[in-house]
Amino acid sequence: MIMTIVRKFTAIFLALSLCLTTVACGGGNQTNSSAKNVNQISTTNLSDGEYQIQQATYDDATGEYNLFLLNNKPPTFATENLQMARLTDDEIKQGKKTYLKVEKGQPILYLTEDFKLEYVHNVTENKTNPQTGQQETVVVRRENSFWAPFAGSVAGSLAGQALGSLLFRPQYYVPPVYQSGQGLSGFGGYGTSYGQAVQNYQTFYNAPPAAVTNRTAFRNTGTIRRSYPGNSTVPNTPRSTIGNNRPSGSGFGSSTLQPSGKSSTTRRNSGSGFGSGRSTAPRRSSSFGRRRR
């Protein structure tokens, strides 16, 4: 009787472990080093629990928080996905200080009212790259400042009673507009998701926050800029496209996805592609996006 149960259990256990190892191997080829991956790893690396904070930095180029943890290895922790909440007065009375809590992999920063995050402001300029002729956003210098998200007076006056109690609940916050030579206090937007916080900021300031604009990569090609109504002369004659049979065209696009920065563009074959794939002969189920013939 017991033997049969043990036998069954062994079979199921073996099957399960086989499944697990397969999955683990399948995921292996993805762990190429890239800045992005490092973040993700550090997010998952920090196990649930509470951590004391030495210092916190916010970078408005990437929207990334960099936290220095006391008595922890590794001592730094970087994430974009950070919720914040104010410590309640009771907790402060009990002598609690600013701390980081990781709950089910989600980092939440509990702040005292006067805690200041270091704020790194990136002064950017649009420059034309002399080699490609394309417009690029370049960081020309960085300025340091402070950001106190829950500095009492501002939070009170700006938000009133209703929001007052919300402050104790973990939410996403976006810093207010940067002013040179002045510390920041209060917040520009808040929400239960980062997207919502950004939206909240946008309704208030009518422009996306710095972290979002700095992340946005805008490209455009073609004649759109030239055919701008103010620019008057739109040649109506058919172009003499000497030596090139291509039709004319224009394009524009912007992306908030951070490119990986890897040099090679190896496409993995994961069977995830979709599309109307026509005529490319033996298409593996995975790869798509056809090469020109």
Report, in Å, the least distance between residue 83 CB and other proteins.
15
- Contact flag: residue 279 with other proteins (CB under 8 A): yes
Cis previous bond, 74, omega within 30: yes
Report, in Å, the least distance between residue 257 CB and other proteins.
4
Instruction: Say how many C-beta atoms besides its own lie within 10 A of residue 119's C-beta.
Output: 20
- Contact flag: residue 27 with other proteins (CB under 8 A): yes
Report, in Å, the least distance between residue 80 CB and other proteins.
10
Q: One-letter amino acid identity for 48?
A: D
Q: Give the one residue of 105, 152, 164, 183 binding other proteins; rule: CB under 8 A.
A: 105
State which residue, 4 or 248, has the beta carbon closest to other proteins: 248
- Contact flag: residue 61 with other proteins (CB under 8 A): no
28, 64 Cβ separation under 8 angstroms: no
* CB proximity list for 107: less than 8 A, separation 6 or greater: 43, 46, 77, 79, 81, 82, 83, 100, 101
* DSSP annotation string for 63-132: TEEEEEETT-SSSEEEES--EEEEPPHHHHHTT---EEEEETTEEEEEE-TT--EEEEEEEEEEEE-TTT
Q: In this structure, is the dihedral angle defined by the CA atoms of residues 157, 163, 164 and 168, taken in order, positive or negative? A: negative
Candidate segments 46-54, 115-123, 154-162, 211-219, binder of other proteins by CB under 8 A: 211-219
**CA gap 284, 117 in Å, rounded:** 50
Candidate segments 49-57, 69-77, 162-170, 222-230, binder of other proteins by CB under 8 A: 222-230
**CA gap 58, 48 in Å, rounded:** 22
- Contact flag: residue 22 with other proteins (CB under 8 A): yes
- Contact flag: residue 152 with other proteins (CB under 8 A): no
Report, in Å, the least distance between residue 139 CB and other proteins.
16
The total number of residues shown for the chain amounts to: 293
Candidate segments 52-60, 85-93, 141-149, 212-220, binder of other proteins by CB under 8 A: 212-220
Report, in Å, the least distance between residue 144 CB and other proteins.
26
Candidate segments 95-103, 115-123, 138-146, 243-251, binder of other proteins by CB under 8 A: 243-251
- Contact flag: residue 2 with other proteins (CB under 8 A): no
- Contact flag: residue 38 with other proteins (CB under 8 A): no
Candidate segments 66-74, 161-169, 175-183, 220-228, binder of other proteins by CB under 8 A: 220-228
Candidate segments 52-60, 61-69, 109-117, 252-260, binder of other proteins by CB under 8 A: 252-260
Report, in Å, the least distance between residue 207 CB and other proteins.
8
Q: Give the one residue of 199, 211, 281, 282 binding other proteins; rule: CB under 8 A.
A: 199
Answer left, alpha or beta for residue 261, where phi above 0 means left and psi between -120 and 50 means alpha.
left
184, 175 Cβ separation under 8 angstroms: yes
Q: What is the CA radius of gyration of the chain?
A: 26
**CA gap 135, 219 in Å, rounded:** 8
- Contact flag: residue 76 with other proteins (CB under 8 A): no
